[in-house]
Amino acid sequence: MKLGVLGTGMVGQAIAGRLVELGHEVKMGSRRAGNEKAVGWASEAGEGASEGSFPEAAGFGEVVVNATAGGASLEALEAAGADNLTGKVLIDVANPLDFSQGMPPTLSVCNDDSLGERIQQAFPEAKVVKALNTVNASVMVSPGALGESTNVFVCGNDEGAKAQVEELLRSFGWGEGRVFDLGDISAARGAEMYLPLWLRMFGALGTGEFNIGVVRGK
Amino acid sequence: MKLGVLGTGMVGQAIAGRLVELGHEVKMGSRRAGNEKAVGWASEAGEGASEGSFPEAAGFGEVVVNATAGGASLEALEAAGADNLTGKVLIDVANPLDFSQGMPPTLSVCNDDSLGERIQQAFPEAKVVKALNTVNASVMVSPGALGESTNVFVCGNDEGAKAQVEELLRSFGWGEGRVFDLGDISAARGAEMYLPLWLRMFGALGTGEFNIGVVRGK
């Protein structure tokens, strides 16, 4: 499959790299084609890896991944262009973290709204699926390192899009029953508002190599 | 030990009942002594169970549990009286859920503040420990029903108070390594902002009999 991954940070590199490893063609997008990190990634990631501008990457992908910083996501997607997202699955991995008040960050949107919803509202012709934002980059693409008992969450308004994302997550190593469907895109509030707890656990554990597993009573 | 449990709802009844079962003396507090639910509970819970007003219950307890509805907690604690909380461990189990906008509820305080912090600020002489607010009433007091692998969170500014709460949680069945210390009371933001995710999982699972376990990489 052809995928566009918007964002050149750790998350973008981890996801784009894993997708190439799995045999997909991936164009990493950034504000301007020729971005140093994107060029470096494309030259090392192997066959199927390329880079370009946001619109080039979004236009290239049958599926588009938003791996930009949450505070810059709407702007990046505007740059990518609504036309390049129309009818496509848009996997939103970003968290609306606001570091302007110092550490730990707050959320720039939460409670009665979410970044996932704002993206869906701004791009009504895209099929937004919030996913993977509750784990760090390495857990996203290699969940098996934590064993078989942790979960990742998806939510979105389009069932077919969620099924397609689940299939992709399965190929990353998220096993049977480990992809938890929270419902429609408004559930992005839940997935994003988990971040403050994640950040405290990160602080207490001293590592981002952790995740939660949901255990249900019999 | 003598404990005061403020609140007569499911959470208050579950915690107060479990404490009596474990041999503690417990006074359940409500707005007015003689509250029907509190009287009913006290008459059935067995030896050691009694009921009274908020100030009577808080004055009775060496440790006080806030199990009132989050939206009413500060008012209930004001009624209980700062003098009756001075120097005591105050376990805050409440969630600041706001149902005024319909379902699912939003939080009446979050992001750069929390109910736990507001309570600590309003009662600086109490040793507030946020705990148990991330699970439903039955999981709080009988975590073993979900197996041995889920977690409960504590946070607060006083290490001794947290140790005392951890001991109490151990007696409820939270085993070795299952009480996760998130840090100071500002971490209540994390524990409370988890609620929107909990509510979505509750909706998807169709039961509140679940919890999360933290899995750390090797």
pLDDT tens digits, A163-184:
999 999 999 999 999 999 999 9
Q: Report how far apart, in Å, the C-alpha atoms of B101 and of each of A112, A130, B201, B202 are.
A: 10, 24, 20, 19
pLDDT at B118 over 80: yes
Average pLDDT of chain A, as a whole number? 97
Give the domain CATH number at A157. Answer: 3.40.50.720
Find chain A residues with C-beta within 8 A of B216's C-beta: 146, 205, 207, 209-210
Interacting residues of B48 by C-beta distance below 8 A, sequence separation 6+: B20, B23, B24, B25, B26
CA-CA-CA-CA dihedral for B162, B105, B197, A99, to nearest 10: -80
In a domain, B112, yes or no: yes
CA distance B111 to B93: 18
Radius of gyration in angstroms for the set of CA atoms belonging to chain B, rounded to a whole number: 16
pLDDT digits (tens, 9 = 90+) for B24-41: 999 999 999 999 999 999
Residue B4 has φ and ψ, to the nearest 5°, of -105, 130
pTM of the model: 0.97
* pLDDT score of B55: 98
Pairing label, strands B2-6, B25-30: parallel
In a domain, B26, yes or no: yes
Average pLDDT of chain B, as a whole number? 97
Mean pLDDT along residues A54-76: 98
In a domain, A107, yes or no: yes
Give per-residue burial for B128-159: e unless 16+ CB within 10 Å, then b.
Answer: bbbbbbbbbbbbbbebeebeebbbbbbbbbbe
- Put simply, the answer to whether A203 touches B183 (Cβ < 8 Å) is yes
Find chain B residues with C-beta within 8 A of A111's C-beta: 106-107, 110-111, 196
> For a pLDDT cut of 70, what percent of chain A falls above it?
100
pLDDT band at B98 (very low <50, low <70, confident <90, very high): very high
pLDDT digits (tens, 9 = 90+) for A102-126: 888 999 999 999 999 999 999 999 9
* pLDDT score of B216: 96
pLDDT digits (tens, 9 = 90+) for B138-178: 999 999 999 989 999 999 999 999 999 999 999 999 999 99
Question: A186: which 2 tokens?
Answer: 């408004």
Q: Structural domain of residue B11, as residue ranges? A: 2-205
pLDDT band at A101 (very low <50, low <70, confident <90, very high): confident
Q: Quick one: angle between helices A73-80 and A115-122, nearest 10?
A: 20
Find chain B residues with C-beta within 8 A of A180's C-beta: 201, 204
Q: Report how far apart, in Å, the C-alpha atoms of B37 and of each of A32, B42, B50, B94, B185 are.
A: 66, 9, 12, 19, 31
What ranges in A90-211 are assigned the alpha helix state H?
A: 115-122, 137-141, 159-172, 188-193, 195-205
pLDDT digits (tens, 9 = 90+) for B34-85: 999 999 999 999 999 999 999 999 999 999 999 999 999 999 999 999 999 9
In a domain, A212, yes or no: no
Domain count, chain B: 1
Chain A, 84-143: which have a CB under 8 Å from a chain B CB? 101, 106-107, 110-112, 139
Please tell me which residue of chain B has the smallest CA distance to A187. B200
pLDDT at A86 over 80: yes
In a domain, B216, yes or no: no
> For a pLDDT cut of 90, what percent of chain A falls above it?
97
In a domain, A216, yes or no: no
Give all strands (DSSP E) within B43-177, no chain letters: 49-53, 63-66, 89-92, 97-98, 106-107, 127-131, 152-156
Nearest CB among A110, A181, A183 relative to B111 is that of A110
In a domain, B215, yes or no: no
In a domain, B170, yes or no: yes
* pLDDT score of A148: 84
> Widest CA span of chain A, in angstroms?
54
DSSP A161: H
Mean pLDDT along residues B122-140: 98
